[in-house]
Amino acid sequence: MMRLGGGCLCGTVRYEADLEEDDIADYCHCRECRRASGAPVVAWIQLASSRFRVVQGQASAFASPAGATRWFCGRCGSPLYMTDPDDRSLGIAVACLDEPDRVPPRLHGWFEERIAWFDTRDELLRFPRHPPYDR
Percent of all residues in the chain with a pLDDT value above 70, rounded to a whole number? 99
Helix (H, G, I), strand (E, B) or coil at 51: helix
Of 60, 52, 44, 132, the residue nearest 93 (C-alpha)? 44
Residues 40-77: tens digit of each pLDDT? 999 999 999 999 999 999 999 999 877 899 999 999 99
Domain residue limits, the chain:
2-125
Q: Which CATH class is domain 2-125?
A: mainly beta
Residues 70-96: tens digit of each pLDDT? 999 999 999 999 998 887 889 999 999
